[in-house]
Amino acid sequence: MKGNNCSRAKELLALAPTVTSHAEEICTVDYPAPDIRGFQGGCSDGARYYYNICMHYDLPTQEHNYSRIAKIDLKTGEVVQWSEPLCLDHANDATYNPHTNEILVCHNKPRHKHLTAIDADTLTPTRGIDLPVPIYAIEYNEARNAYAVGLSGTWDYRLLDADFRLADDKICRGTTLTARYTKQGMCADDELIYFILWDGKHKDAEDFQNEISVYDWDGKFRGIIEFDVGVKEPENLSMVNGEIVAVCGATKPILYRLTPKSKG
């Protein structure tokens, strides 16, 4: 799966503050067992998609929490491997680092400052990582050898270096234009950072609209990408070989390829 949707998004947002997009279904992920509670964060290595399936998520005690990660072949849409049950809490977002071949899972609630690294070949945990700031989303960019992270409880984001230290003192402030939405996952390319947003509080409203808010690595708000998958909840966003891939669903996760286009 190759394309240049990211370049297209940049071109369109330079011309208008809001653009739309076409959502093309790639595949639906089957669950490994009937006792599913939901699905949360995921990421891609370019050939496969790794998605966290929450088998049981029980706040606030966390005593019975466990998840399984599905490794999905993006050419066939088939699940080629399942992890064993893992304790990843809410597992709100994840990113892939090709240098370490690890999936880095953002725990979010209740351990906002914690990541678990998962070996992408074996789908087994390799290490735990404590962060300097609380986060709900994370994305690694290979060209910059750095991470962008969404800060818990805010619309803001910060940058971390390759060793998960704060890259600088700057807090990139989020726009108030997206205050009505629920924040979900994030992704990035070499120039832009994308946050996927769920308009679930307004499912019955005439102006219901899921969106992606777009920024750059310097902290500037660049615009909005609208997308339509009905009232399916968007959970996760990834960059796959220049394509923007969103995971949405109501009962099972569905992977969509999003192609930005002009609203005109």
The helix (H) or strand (E) run that includes residue 9 is helix 5-13
Q: Among 113, 120, 119, 118, which Cα is nearest to 138's?
A: 113
86 Cβ contact partners less than 8 Å away, ≥ 6 residues apart: 66, 67, 68, 69, 116, 118, 125
Burial of 171 (0-12, 13-18, 19+ CB in 10 A): middle
Coil, strand or helix: which one is 27? strand
**Which residue do the tokens 């370490």 mark?**
100
What single DSSP character describes residue 244? E
| pLDDT for 58 | 59
β-strand pairing of 18-28 with 221-227? parallel
Do 68 and 55 contact (CB within 8 A), yes or no? yes
Distance CA 88, CA 73 (A): 23
The domains found in the chain, sorted by start residue, are 5-261 (2.120.10.30)
Do 149 and 133 contact (CB within 8 A), yes or no? yes
| pLDDT for 102 | 97
Distance CA 181, CA 138 (A): 18
Distance CA 222, CA 33 (A): 41
Cα angle, residue 147 at apex, residues 144 and 149 outer, rounded to 5°: 145
Q: HSE on the CB side for 118, CA within 13 Å?
A: 33
Q: Mind listing the pLDDT tens digit for each residue in 155-207?
A: 999 999 999 999 999 999 999 999 999 999 999 999 999 999 999 999 999 99
| pLDDT for 4 | 58
Distance CA 222, CA 250 (A): 30
| pLDDT for 2 | 45
Distance CA 54, CA 38 (A): 5
Furthest C-alpha separation in the chain: 52
| pLDDT for 1 | 42
State percent of the chain over pLDDT 90.
Answer: 62
| pLDDT for 54 | 65
Cα 248 to Cα 25, 38, 116: the distances in Å are 10, 11, 23
Residues of the chain with pLDDT under 70: 1-6, 32-37, 54-65, 264
Distance CA 257, CA 244 (A): 6
pTM comes to: 0.93
